Amino acid sequence: MKEKPSIEVRLDKWLWAARFYKTRALAREMVEGGKVHYNGQRSKPGKIVELNATLTLPPGQRRADGNH
């Protein structure tokens, strides 16, 4: 049985593609500034997003987790 190929997506690119931020540069800036937390911790824009990870965004934005 073959495994499905994994698709790796950077945190900043995912935030931009999911339309949390208008540009990828803005998503990167928010992550670098500590405004976005990945599984409860500060992260880097190049962090690979994993299934069921929890992202916490600044107030006024919704919380994104892999369980919805």
In terms of C-beta density within 10 A (0-12 exposed, 13-18 middle, 19 or more buried), how is residue 29 classed?
middle
The predicted model gives 35-64 an average pLDDT of: 88
Q: 25 versus 7: which is more confidently predicted?
A: 25
Per domain, the residue ranges of the chain are 11-57
Amino acid 68: pLDDT:
40
Amino acid at 4: K
The tokens describing 4, both together, are 């499905």
Q: What is the pLDDT of residues 15-48, one digit of tens each?
A: 999 999 999 999 999 999 999 999 999 999 999 9
For 37-62, b where at least 16 C-beta lie within 10 A, e where not — what string? ebeeeebebebebeeebebebeeeee
Residue 44: name the closest of 36, 52, 55, 56 by CA. 36
Which CATH number applies to 11-57?
A: 3.10.290.10
pTM for the full model? 0.78
